[in-house]
Amino acid sequence: MKEQTKILHSIPVDPLTGAISTPIYQTSTFVQDEPGIHKGFDYSRTNNPTRKALEDLIATLENGAQGFAFASGLSAIDAVVKLLSAGDEILAVDDIYGGAFRLFTQVYTRLGITVKFCDTTNAENVFNQISEKTKLVWVESPTNPTLKISDIEAIAKIAKANGSLLCVDNTFASPVSQKPIHLGADIVVHSATKYLGGHSDLISGLVITKNDALGEKIKFIQNASGAVLAPFDSWLVIRGIETLDLRVKQHAENAYKVARFLSSNPFIKNVYFPGLSSHANFEIARKQMKYPGGIVSFDLVQDDKNRAKSIATHTAYFKLAESLGGVKSLLCIPAEMTHKSIPAEIRNQNGVTDSLIRLSIGLEDADDLIADLEQAINFAFSTENQPIKSLKEFYVTK
Ligand SMILES: *Cc1c(COP(=O)(O)O)cnc(C)c1O
């Protein structure tokens, strides 16, 4: 069975009613025949049929043994970290999602779990930094917003030889593009808020484990901590996943066209997109990803913050907002928004300059998206839009 068929047919028809769409079991509890004798469900924090349908679907899609649905991407990440104990160490990608950075350094460090960061785009750095204490290696690929790619297979071998678990945050790639478990990872997490939901209408997270032993541990934590996904939102994520392959394929095609356009524009300095041969990790991306993704980032000549702001506020179809992965195009300026809390020096080292703009390419026609960006860039660089250097100049122009 090909993947798209598997996505659409791995959820069985509802056995009770024949409903082709998984029913939303909007209930907290389930009536029991005798104490402890029930139809497999007793309380919706522990298990719910709609959530279970999603959990089984994502396990299938990621080639894992078990899947788990959480109230957000961060609560999914939180459940994985709870596998560790005080004294253990996490070795994480340095270009990590800001929310995961905050959770690791401001919550778990306080509870005795230490965290080290390294540039995982070179697997040798992982080899050099991993230690006896390292119980968890944490990789994101591609990263946000400069789309760095790490060699998951190489890192998995290093983690395994050290007896550490490897968890991959697969949010930016999505499971139709990249299968970390197939590449050797033990655990995969997603912010289903992004491509899996796909319509910018919910917050959700998923964990998938390679084997049942890890699955039982995550199941225990999910029930014990309780940050579960509601039945209605589980249903929405299932509906999103049904079109995932089609959407991600089109996001990538549009993104490629936009990236090509930006690369040829004289006002643009760097374009970050793993599908361009100019990308630093192009070869690894090609090896481990089916589609290069739908995110394109770029910065401007002279790193001009004001012009970047002008572009970000003069597009018609690209809406200025955080988040990504939805059907409608979004853009943001990470230095001012998602990455504002990171010191400027570190940001600049990671390529997150003041003028860097991140695009989440939607499913509008690519020609319209390119025209939209072109007019906004031209406006930002037009002579009428030169940034004024003093107030005197302001009076003169009046
Ligand atoms: C958004 C995101 C998260 C956090 O997910 P939420 O659903 O917002 O809690 C984690 N990792 C990555 C890569 C993300 O983009």
Report residue 373 as tokens: 């960006």
pLDDT of 188 over the 50 cut: yes
Residue 66 to residues 54, 134, 215, 216, 360, Cα–Cα distance (Å): 11, 24, 6, 9, 30
Query: Which tens digit of pLDDT belongs to each residue from 130-152?
Result: 999 999 999 999 999 999 999 99
Please state the rounded mean pLDDT for residues 329-335.
96
Report residue 338 as tokens: 């998602």
pLDDT value at residue 388: 54
For residue 387, whether the previous peptide bond is cis, meaning omega lies within 30 degrees of 0, is no
Which amino acid residue places its CA nearest to atom 4 of ligand 1? 73
Query: Which tens digit of pLDDT belongs to each residue from 309-325?
Result: 999 999 999 999 999 99
Please state the rounded mean pLDDT for residues 3-12.
90
Question: Which ligand 1 atom sits closest to the C-alpha of 324?
Answer: 15
Read off the pLDDT band of 398 (50, 70, 90). very low
Instruction: Write out residues with Cβ below 6 Å of ligand 1.
Output: 72-74, 97, 99-100, 140, 144, 169, 171-172, 191, 193-194, 203, 205
Q: How far is the CA of 74 from the centre of ligand 1 (A)?
A: 6
Give residue for tokens 């003169």.
396
Read off the pLDDT band of 1 (50, 70, 90). confident
Testing ligand 1's pocket by substitution, the residue of 104, 138, 171 carrying the most ligand atoms inside 8 A of its CB is: 171
- Backbone φ and ψ for 11, nearest 5 degrees, come out as -90, 120
In this structure, of 27-31, 163-167, 300-304, the range with the lowest mean pLDDT score is: 300-304
Please state the rounded mean pLDDT for residues 72-87.
98
* Secondary structure (H, E, C), the chain: CCHHHHHHHCCCCCCCCCCCCCCCCCCCECCCCECCECCCCCECCCCCHHHHHHHHHHHHHCCCCEEEEECCHHHHHHHHHCCCCCCCEEEEECCCCHHHHHHHHHHHCCCCCEEEEECCCCHHHHHHHCCCCEEEEEEECCCCCCCCCCCHHHHHHHHHHHCCEEEEECCCCCCCCCCCCCCCCCEEEEECCCCCCCCCCCCCEEEEECCHHHHHHHHHHHHHHCCECCHHHHHHHHHHHHCHHHHHHHHHHHHHHHHHHHHCCCCEEEEECCCCCCCCCHHHHHHHCCCCCCEEEEEEHHHCHHHHHHHHHCCCCCEECCCCCCCCCEEECCCCCCCCCCCHHHHHHCCCCCCCEEEECCCCCHHHHHHHHHHHHHHHCCHHHCCCCCHHHHHHHC
pLDDT value at residue 344: 87
Q: How far is the CA of 370 from the centre of ligand 1 (A)?
A: 27
pLDDT of 396 over the 60 cut: no
pLDDT value at residue 183: 98
Active site residues: 45, 97, 169, 194
Please state the rounded mean pLDDT for residues 284-308.
95
> Mean pLDDT for the chain?
95
Q: How far is the CA of 8 from the centre of ligand 1 (A)?
A: 25
Read off the pLDDT band of 386 (50, 70, 90). low
Q: Which of residues 174 and 386 earns the better pLDDT score?
A: 174
pLDDT value at residue 85: 98
Please state the rounded mean pLDDT for residues 267-271.
97
All structural domains of the chain, each given as residue ranges with its CATH number in brackets, are 3-241 (3.40.640.10), 245-397 (3.90.1150.10)
Please state the rounded mean pLDDT for residues 339-364.
91
Pair 175, 63: CB distance under 8 Å: no
pLDDT of 125 over the 80 cut: yes
pLDDT of 390 over the 80 cut: no
In this structure, of 220-229, 237-246, 375-384, the range with the lowest mean pLDDT score is: 375-384
Give residue for tokens 């009613």.
17
Query: Which tens digit of pLDDT belongs to each residue from 51-68?
Result: 999 999 999 999 999 999
Pair 50, 103: CB distance under 8 Å: no
pLDDT value at residue 391: 57
Query: Which tens digit of pLDDT belongs to each residue from 189-209?
Result: 999 999 999 999 999 999 999
Q: Calculate the CA 235 to chain-centre distance.
A: 20
pLDDT value at residue 126: 98
Give percent above pLDDT 70 in the chain. Answer: 96
d(CA 196, CA 175): 9
Q: How far is the CA of 35 from the centre of ligand 1 (A)?
A: 40
Read off the pLDDT band of 342 (50, 70, 90). confident
